Chain A
């Protein structure tokens, strides 16, 4: 057993309001630079929708991730090693700038300098690449709340296998239920970007699993951009280097949550250490599709298991890290309570960010198979618990996102969440008596009353210390104290000693 530690983030999608505060915090901190304007290391997508870059889940087109070949071996979908070298001069699977968007600003100066006229002065949009006037045709969240068009929901690849009638309902703008999907780099166990990099510039940090690009070694072959199935590696068009989410490691090393997590107004994000067995990665990634999700979650080790602790110590993980792994909220949600799943585990990269799937709207009942938005007094319990198929956010759709199309894991999680909701409702609104029927309901969802209380507490009223459990990195000796962060803000970023000028 080769134990490694992984810093992992958990997204409680039921709490996400889609406000993009995380994206803006990340943008201000990391990608507010020339060449990086179009990059959103953190972005929030409306689901159903096509996301950013448009249609990133379409791996027939982008060739991201890994697949299992006929003989059960793991293959990089983008290329073989020799084939990768053959495609150095032109990579047919690379997204173009217009698949993201043409970054723009406005000629704000015109607002002050325009001559007096009858019309209102307008600030004309200009491209941040060419500096010329342009027509804005897309943006990083162009399909936000579906942008008034049914095109985005209709073109969502994860709608595959969803019942036609439900699908038609999802495409109706007036009736569709949105949910929001914040995405950062998944800091995978078996990253496709690392596998695809001809220069060997990308690596996974041993101590906390953060996947990083060594920009001194990067030669701009841009295979990582195509190979990442989540499209979370970006090519800086001015420096000719690839960049990606660094999980705010300079912040984590000083005990602060990453900017996206720290700024989250819905407090949907949790962070903590997970221990995993690196020896199992090869087996996990080659599992047949129906066993893949279990194998994926099975990678995570129990930090209370004495054998795991011994192996972790032998692998160089010290006691404070093991302690942090025990207190990790991510571990609790993913393993103890089984409420969180990785995004698109079928890409076989071993994604290490986890999501709790969202519930459908609170106030709704089902009458004659139609969802009603008003809740009559006599129906206090949520009928959805017994009729998950009627959920306005189709189970199959969530299953396509988080469980390789298998509905059962999603049903199990929704049952847990709905039964806790009903339990707390009876407890707080109906006089506080917990009757046998309520306990039986919790048991049907696999919960005890204590567990339900714990999940309720960590979900709704966690403190910042509950949400973010960071191990001590002890990097105070290593931090480059001589670097002025503000001086570096306009440059390549902290830790780089070269100015971010395009090489000659």
Chain B
């Protein structure tokens, strides 16, 4: 097995498998450890300039990547007209730079605010580092290897689809420049870090909130022979 085959053929399965298993057990056995770990209580102003660009910029780009993976034909059609290609690329680049500004503020905030330093764990910096590498390499690719939204659909999309179809074809990645490899590799590192870090909070995006009733009333489950006496009571629960 060559290095390329290991990194882009075997490792994706290792990290995804680990991420799914560990996240599942963490969710089930240690739900208390799952939190966004917000530090807004301790520092608010810098968070405003960091968190909003970081989260919105990055999540929009993530949705874009997933969309390209799901409907590459749509991207090819859209990019058939040059002006639309430029529009897409400029939007993507702007979002990436916005997210980069955000993460820079967040790193600076973690480093320079005593209260935030006090609650910072090594894993927080690791996560910021991994995401920073992804953002920087992404911007590098957008600027240096134009136009990614066009050629990406014929390089990365078939590669990822080969992973999903359980016939990995790491040879798609083999001839690519180093930055592109790093961008893909850092994603697998991200997935590897996912279950062991605060990144799991991504999964708790509370979409259910939009449909649930405003109020929640919960009664303890009561076994008929247990407490609160009469059987009539129990029937009524």
Contacts and interface: CB of A to CB of B under 8 A. Distances in A.
B42 A219 contact: no
A130 interface: yes
A384 to B, nearest CB: 43
A110 to B, nearest CB: 21
Contact of A237 (B41, B218, B233): B41
Given A198-B209, A240-B36, A316-B236, A76 B218 contact: no
A217 B219 contact: no
Interface string A2-14: 0010000000000
A97 B196 CA distance: 28
A92 B121 CA distance: 25
Contact of A314 (B208, B215, B236): B236
Contacts of A240: 35-38
Contact of B118 (A84, A130, A194, A218): A130
B228 to A, nearest CB: 6
B213 to A, nearest CB: 9
B2 interface: no
A220 B118 contact: no
B161 interface: no
B121 A502 contact: yes
Contact of B212 (A200, A478, A498): A200
A56 interface: no
Interface in A449-504: 473-478, 492, 496, 498, 501-504
Interface string A89-116: 1111011110000000000000000000
Contacts of B119: 129, 237-238, 502
Chain A contact residues, majority secondary structure? loop
B204 A204 contact: no
B41 A496 contact: no
B167 interface: no
Given A84-B209, A85-B209, A478-B227, A237 B215 contact: no
B55 interface: yes
B32 A241 contact: yes
A199 B206 contact: yes
Contact of B215 (A129, A130, A195, A239): A195
Interface string B199-237: 001001111111010111111100000111110110011
A94 B197 contact: no
Contact of B35 (A97, A197, A239): A239
Contacts of B35: 218-220, 239-241, 503
A205 B219 contact: yes
Contacts of B21: none
Contacts of B114: 130, 132
B215 A220 contact: no
Contacts of A191: 215
A369 interface: no
A306 interface: no
B209 A235 contact: no
Nearest to A501: B33
A194 B41 contact: no
Interface in B21-39: 30-39
Contacts of B216: 194, 200, 202-204
A191 B213 CA distance: 13
Nearest to A99: B41
A278 B216 CA distance: 12
A23 B10 CA distance: 58
A204 B56 contact: no
B117 interface: yes
A90 B51 contact: yes
12 contacts: A96-B41, A129-B118, A194-B215, A195-B215, A206-B218, A216-B31, A219-B201, A221-B38, A237-B42, A318-B229, A475-B227, A478-B227
Interface of B: 30-44, 47-48, 51-52, 54-56, 114-115, 117-119, 121, 123, 196-198, 201, 204-210, 212, 214-220, 226-230, 232-233, 236-237
Given A90-B48, A237-B42, A501-B33, 13 more contacts: A85-B209, A85-B210, A90-B47, A194-B214, A202-B216, A204-B215, A217-B31, A219-B34, A220-B36, A315-B236, A474-B229, A503-B30, A504-B121
